[in-house]
Structure 1
Amino acid sequence: MSEQNDETEIWSRARTDSGEAFAELFRRHRDSVFRRAAALVDRMQDADDATAIAFFELWRKRRSVVLVDGTVLPWLLVAVTNTARNQRRGSVRYRRLLAALPRSDARDAEQEALTAIETEVLGIRLREALSVLDPKDAALLTLTALDGLSVADAAPLVGLKAGAARTRLMRARRRLQDRLGRHPSHVTWSLSEGERA
């Protein structure tokens, strides 16, 4: 092993948290590690990711990694090979899963888009309606209907007794449904869930 390739001193500094020494190791070996990854995966982005993961693992395990013939390159090549193979297996599983999913026709896709838009509009209307309520009432509605807390559990969180919270919640629910007008059906079920004591 030539002195030029001997990384003992650099690795010693890197193991004691020298970012500068670790950067030097990265500069020395980045291309070799990337080439190994690129030979094992389909996309260059995956090779970039595998390279980054290998160097991250080297840094994370720096206290236990041992040089081979005075260099960390063999360790990095094994690490990037394992990472790239795992990525490839994951990619194959993902493609198989996508292929196995039932295909929806254009009508279903259109219906899904319309439902998504309606849900978004309803969310905007709900946020607007909640914004005009008393903050304690809005918090009660959120804690009971969205977070699933009982009235008894939500009441002390907003500084109320359970009985007062039930009364305020009932009134707030009515005000909210009035503000939502003709289209409260999506929200009514969620709000009634907050009835639990």
Structure 2
Amino acid sequence: MVGVRQFDEQDVIANALDVFWRKGLHDATMQDLATATGVQRGSLYNAYGDKEAIFLHAFDQYAEEFLEAAGNALAEGGAADRLRNFFDVIVVNMTGGSPPRGCLTTRTALDAAISSTAVRQRVQGMLGRLERLISEAISSAPDRLPALGANRLARVVVTFTRGLAVMERAGYSRKQLKDVAAAFVVVLIGGAEA
């Protein structure tokens, strides 16, 4: 039937996301996407327009799922517990896959120098939403905050996650990343390491 997609869009976007995560926006090709999704290039062009449009769909889906997982991790306990749970989600997210796939947001931010304004805005928007989630979680924690304040502390935490992403790409293990994140929480919030 003309005008009706002959594929499962959620499957296509999930498979495209995997390609972008492994190769990056710049290095992924429409042929890579066609192969991974099982949908011919022409059909992908007809359905989405171009590679960047497919990426934006995939990134939006990723961002929603990631932010939900981050929000759940930040939901309970004191500020230090919330941050430790959050960092566990971050580290598992970037060390997942075989080989580990790294951090999609950081990979995209580094690709953004050669990408469009729309891609840069998506990355900035996602990082901004992550900052707000962290700020709200820290503000609503039952224990006392450092003098830095929730908003500034949240920006420091998000900035630190980008450093974790670089360390992961440099070959640090999941255990090493979790250890450094736990130490960061102690330095930031205080208290004993868990």
Q: Select the structure with the greater relative contact order (CA < 8 A; seq sep ≥ 6).
A: 2
Same fold flag (TM > 0.5) = no
Measured against the shorter chain, the TM-score band is under 0.3
Which of 1 and 2 has greater Rg? 1
TM-score, length of structure 2 as denominator length: 0.22
